[in-house]
Structure 1
Amino acid sequence: MKPVVSAFNAWTCIVISAFAIVILSAIGSMFANNHHSMMGSTEDPKDGKKVAGAVFGAVIVYAIFLLFCASQAFLHKRQQRQGEIALR
């Protein structure tokens, strides 16, 4: 099987997805627990659980991106070990 994206794009996607998962998980957990920094203002949402659900939905999307990009990076590593010549 051949990779769909370049190795640079795959590794960039891995890094961005990992950071997004960590940051969005922290934000989602603050909304889920009705933390005062997220729910303290009059302009903030009333139901933190619904917002947390949406944020955790984004975490799932980034996890899928992470799996896809990790598989692409794995394919590049496997292709490189087989001694194929890459034209750049």
Structure 2
Amino acid sequence: MKPIVSALNAWSCVVISFFAVIILSILGSLYRSNHHSFTGSEGDPEDGTAVAGSIFTAVIVYAGFFVFCGFQAFLHVRSSRRGAITLN
């Protein structure tokens, strides 16, 4: 198989998606538990579980990006080990 995106884009997407999954998982768990620093004041959302559901949907999307871009990066590594000639 040939990669669809460039190596730089693939690795950038892997790193960004990895950190997004971690950070959004922490935020989602804090909203799900109705942590007072996120749901305690007047301007904050009242239903923390609904916000957590939206955040966990974003986590699933970023996990999909992580898997796809990780596979693209793997294809780049595999093709560079074989000595394949690339045209730019």
TM-score (norm 2): 0.96
Task: Quote the residue 2:50 is aligned against.
Answer: 50
Per-residue deviation, 1:55 = 0.2
1:9 aligns to 2:9 (yes or no):
yes
Measure the CA separation in 2 of the matches of 1:76 and 1:22: 25
SS of residue paired to 1:85: coil
Per-residue deviation, 1:43 = 1.3
Task: Quote the residue 1:26 is aligned against.
Answer: 26
* 4+ runs deviating over 4 angstroms: none
Measure the CA separation in 1 of the matches of 2:58 and 2:71: 20
Task: Quote the residue 1:84 is aligned against.
Answer: 84
CA RMSD of aligned residues (A): 0.8
Measure the CA separation in 2 of the matches of 1:13 and 1:70: 8
In structure 1, what residue type is equivalent to 2:72?
Answer: Q
Structure 1 residues 49-58 or 78-87, which shifts more? 78-87
| Unaligned ranges ≥5, structure 1 | none
How many residues are treated as equivalent by the alignment? 88
TM-score (norm 1): 0.96
